[in-house]
Chains A and B, each alone.
Chain A
Amino acid sequence: MSLLELESINSGYGHFQALFDVNLRIEEKETHAIIGANGAGKSTLLRTICGLIKTEPADKVRFDGQAIGAMSPHKRVGLGISYVPEGRWVFPSLTVHENLQVGAHSKRTGVWNIDKVYELFPLLARLKNRQAFGLSGGEQQALSIARGLMSNPRLLLLDEVSLGLAPVVVEKIYQAMPAIVDSGTTVLLVEQDVGQAMKFADRVTCMLEGRLVLEGAPGEISQEAIFAAYFGV
């Protein structure tokens, strides 16, 4: 049994359908990257998994064998699904430390705690008493990931980690990834930066116009195949 199973998902926002017949399996402890152009449906896919978008019937989304399609986001956090949203969504009026404390609201226990995430992102330890609204984009991204880890997820969903950040900042953020993977967390990340995704993931899936069009290990897929899948040519 896979950790996460999606079965012919058709999902979207109101009358706008963004996903078409999506089938996906994520294995435990795998690092899986979803790549694709703007509007390909990558974020919609993650939002369907974390519960911001619900699915009917509920058993089309299964986590550890359990049907979760109709479950609220807060209950999915309790099961071990943590979503780090595009745009970071830090709590601006809370301090860095408080943001992390709120991240642990679900009381799930495991390897991650506040000291561990400060170890992973030392810059956050230095900023712990600062309000989050004053942080730079990179600092907010680090905080958003660290906050996501505080619930000790079995599945960590990372949405466009590198979006809007300088390459040097992206490098720094990605330096933290091996420690997250080594902790046994399954990672599903959405990334427009194909190079970064290929470097980091065990498996890569490419999306185009709401459909999964290519899947494989980074070493197995040719540049040409990715190019064709990415742009639909």
Chain B
Amino acid sequence: MVWVNDIIQGILLGGLYALFAAGLALVFGVMKLVNLAHGDFSILAAYLALAFVGLLHINPFYTLIIVIIIMAIFGYVIQRGLFNFAMDAGPMQAILATFGIAIIIQNLLLEGFTANSKGLDAGKIENAVITISKQIAIGWFPLTTLIVSVVVLVALQWFLGRTRTGRAFRATADNQRAAQLMGIDNRHLYGMAMAVALAIVAIGGVFIGIRTTFSPSAGPLRLIFAYEAVIIGGLGSLWGTLVGGIVLGIAQVLGDHIHQGYGILVGHLVFLAILAFRPQGLFARQVQ
């Protein structure tokens, strides 16, 4: 029964990873940009929430509204003001630009908030559990995280499938030049894609801040988990990011069960196994 509990905890953790992975997958899908600052964007969102909690003395959940809006605007501006130009110069320049932004964010956070670990206190929900049996207990907060990530993915799927901008995203992902020939302004569209991605990762950032402590250097590890979730799930598949997150989450929880501290290692090993035996991921998009 302990194993069943581990698997449940892994699934719930996967919900959190999906929140990181979805934005990363969207940006890569639409504009083929490998965003090395993605993890740092999430930590930036966590610090924003921390600042608003300190300023307004509210529950971090309520800061989500303002943090999501700020991160979305920030995403649009940084895409139009920097990444678009870097992408014009070439894919390597674009990666380096995101890497540079990652370094800048880490150091600004270090200046502003010191290297000490911080946390967001969401109150009672953090420790509230639903006890199913002696050995199986589901935390309210991890459950909320998973539900939110499913809601986000459903909303994203609706947006991509049913709205004019969403279709433009998919058309641009398929063939950027052809999309321009349909009257789609790719520079604006890329800005929109980054805005959506950072809005989603803002939720992930605030949730990670509630779940665990964070410091200015916590971004890169989030980035690696997000990448692993995307690759395991399969590039271009929205629900694949959730499955990828869940597979990674289960692997990490089971790893920790075998020996405390093995979790991350086992997660990486599962990722490597997928790369070796099914490099297209579990749910690769069935096109071409």
Contact = CB atoms under 8 A, between A and B. Distances in A.
A167 B85 CA distance: 45
Given A91-B170, A93-B174, A131-B287, A105 B183 contact: yes
Contact of A78 (B174, B179, B183): B183
B84 interface: no
B178 A74 contact: no
Given A94-B170, A101-B167, A105-B168, A89 B184 contact: no
A112 B285 CA distance: 32
B171 interface: yes
B182 A133 contact: no
Interface in A69-95: 72-75, 77-78, 82-83, 85, 89-94
Given A102-B167, A133-B288, A94 B174 contact: yes
Give the most central of B167, B168, B170, B178: most A CB within 10 Å.
B178
Contacts of A108: 183
A80 B168 CA distance: 19
Interface residues of A, number: 30
A151 B288 contact: no
A192 B185 CA distance: 32
A142 to B, nearest CB: 16
B177 A74 contact: no
A124 interface: no
Contacts of A131: 287
B175 A105 contact: no
Contacts of A93: 170, 173-174, 236, 285, 287
B2 interface: no
A106 B182 contact: yes
B130 interface: no
A12 interface: no
Contacts of B178: 85, 89-91
Nearest to A92: B287
A98 B173 CA distance: 14
A40 interface: no
B183 A106 contact: yes
A23 to B, nearest CB: 25
A92 B288 CA distance: 7
A98 B167 contact: yes
Give the most central of B175, B182, B185, B186: most A CB within 10 Å.
B182
Contacts of B168: 102, 105
Contacts of A73: 177, 180-181
A203 interface: no
A54 to B, nearest CB: 12
B174 A92 contact: yes
Contacts of A102: 167-168, 171, 179, 182, 184
Contacts of B259: none
Given A94-B167, A133-B287, A105 B174 contact: no
Contacts of B170: 91, 93-94, 98
Give the most central of A73, A85, A89, A108: most B CB within 10 Å.
A73
B164 interface: yes
A114 B287 CA distance: 25
Interface in B260-288: 285, 287-288
Give the most central of A52, A74, A106: most B CB within 10 Å.
A74
Contacts of B182: 74, 77, 102-103, 105-106, 147, 151
A72 B180 contact: yes
B285 A74 contact: no
A233 B178 CA distance: 37
17 contacts: A52-B180, A52-B181, A72-B180, A74-B185, A77-B183, A82-B181, A89-B175, A89-B177, A90-B178, A91-B171, A91-B174, A93-B170, A93-B236, A93-B285, A102-B168, A105-B183, A108-B183
Interface of A: 50-52, 72-75, 77-78, 82-83, 85, 89-94, 98-99, 101-103, 105-106, 108, 131, 133, 147, 151
Interface of B: 164, 167-168, 170-171, 173-175, 177-186, 236, 285, 287-288
Given A74-B182, A105-B183, A106-B182, 10 more contacts: A72-B180, A73-B177, A83-B181, A85-B178, A91-B178, A93-B287, A94-B167, A94-B174, A102-B184, A105-B168
Instruction: Give me the 10 closest cross-chain CB pairs, A-B, nearest first.
Output: A106-B183, A77-B183, A89-B178, A91-B174, A73-B180, A102-B171, A93-B287, A105-B183, A91-B171, A74-B185
